[in-house]
Amino acid sequence: MKTTQELRATRPTSPHLGIYRIQISSTLSIFHRLTGIALFGALSIVTWWMVFWIFGGCSECYISSLSCCIIKYALYALSFTLFYHTCNGIRHLIWDAGYGFSIKALHVGGWMAVIVALILTIGFWLWIG
């Protein structure tokens, strides 16, 4: 028979990483926090870029920098993070109203937030053209 200390020493910590299965709700929660941080940083950079563009002497340099592939992809990613963060925020507002707590509603709402954010991103860039 094992003592209480021996039992405590051999039991796994919770949640045990060997048996824990990553869920969509935890993944989207982490992604929601990361997109909030990314939006803060990226929008700060965009704001400074606009300040330098308005008050700087070389307007053509700033406009021509938008044609760079890396900056275009960064703007695509920034718009997706904005739309995802907004859609997931609406999902959280629905939860605050007391709806959508069943397992099926969690999965449907999570995937809907991702898909709607993707559709809004594509539609936004097609609209800007």
- Please give the pLDDT value at position 36: 96
Domain range for residue 67? 32-128
Report how far residue 124's alpha carbon sits from residue 118's, in angstroms, rounded to the nearest whole number: 10
Q: What are the average pLDDT values for consecutive 10-residue runs of the chain, which has 129 residues?
A: 80 68 88 96 90 80 80 92 97 94 93 97 95
Q: What is the model's pLDDT at position 14?
A: 66
In a domain, 112, yes or no: yes
pLDDT score for 50: 84
Find, among 45, 111, 30, the residue nearest to 78 by Cα.
Answer: 45
On whether residue 38 sits in a domain, the answer given is yes
Any domain includes 27: no
Residue 117: inside a domain, yes or no? yes
CATH number, domain of 55, equals: 1.20.1300.10
φ/ψ region of 14 (left if φ > 0, alpha if ψ in -120 to 50, else beta) reads beta
State the total domains in the chain.
Answer: 1
Whole-number CA gyration radius for the chain: 22
User: Tokens representing 61?
Assistant: 């340099």
**Residue 54: inside a domain, yes or no?**
yes
Residues 115 and 87 sit within 8 Å (Cβ to Cβ):
no
